Amino acid sequence: MPPIPFTADQIRGIVPPLVTPFDADEEIDRAALRQQVRYMLEQGVHGFVAGGSTGEGFTFSREDLCRVVAVAAEEANGRVPLIPGIIVNSTREAIARAKLVAEFSPSALQVTPAHYIFKTDDDSMVRHFREIHDAVGTPLLIYNVIPWNYLSPALLQRIMREVPGVIGVKQSAGDLKLLADLIADAQPGKRILSGIDSLLYPAFALGVHGVISQLLAAVPGAAVRLWDLVQAGNHVAARQLHEDLLRLWNAIYSDNRVAVTKFALSLQGVPVGRPRGPLLQPTAAQQAAVRRTIAPLLPAGQLALAA
């Protein structure tokens, strides 16, 4: 019997997007993915996303998405919320994928607005999310990330108001004001999560319900520590940890940052495989920068053992 999905208010805290390990043929390495999920759980994460942009979900076929979600669901075994990512360019395809992963009892779906070479008007975007939810009934999180089809706080609030099945937003942009507006104006019960890697500490201090961002995939344990420090009110230690995390993010941030994130996770003894082409592997300079900046964030000796 599949586990009962978590409720919306249980989607909180540190929710890393899983990277997807690919073998030499660029097929999903399920054994490596299982090891990664176990590592994330050992680090104390509060949930995870499977098939998001950090997981190269934009390259996925329907079958790829099902394979990744199936492994994540089996390993999680109902211990934390599981959120599949859906990155497609039509309502029809979003519904098809949502139906395919429904058998794994996801707690929510992280859905990126349709975006290829166009921008939708507000009414079309409301209809898009309404039709997806009406078709599958699974709660939805809007992944607000596409620069040329960026949804304003007013539109996001409208969608959450008019489509009750949209339970929240992952706000992924460097503008902390937009995130603050969403937090301040959200209806009770809605979840506002940050996806701003460089601003985890201020987002936590503002009262965001949680975070889904690439940096969490690189150092899940350090992200959990930062969350716990802010929840405990220890802002002095939290700010210092924030600075260390920011240095690592600056080393990761690049056009091939998914591959660099995979390298960072590999330094903790977690197999990550290769990215799918044409994404480039990390350069020697990128690897050196990550080694240097990740060291303060890992337990003593862990980097040396994995290197």
Q: Does the active-site annotation cover 150?
A: no
The single residue of 116, 119, 150, 170 carrying the catalytic annotation is: 170
Answer for the pair 17, 54: CB distance below 8 angstroms, yes or no: yes
Answer for the pair 260, 267: CB distance below 8 angstroms, yes or no: no
**Pairwise CA distance, residues 140 & 83, whole Å:** 9
The single residue of 39, 99, 119, 143 carrying the catalytic annotation is: 143
Q: Does the active-site annotation cover 143?
A: yes
Residue 114 CB-half CA count within 13 A: 19
**Pairwise CA distance, residues 6 & 12, whole Å:** 11
Length of the chain: 307
CB atoms < 10 A from the CB of 53, how many? Answer: 19
Answer for the pair 3, 105: CB distance below 8 angstroms, yes or no: yes
Q: How far is CA 237 from CA 154, 200, 223, in A?
A: 35, 14, 13
Give the full edge-to-edge strand order of the sheet including 191-194: 13-14, 210-211, 191-194, 166-171, 140-144, 109-111, 82-86, 48-50
Q: Cis omega before residue 16 (within 30°)?
A: no
SS3 for 173? coil
Catalytic positions, written as ranges: 143, 170
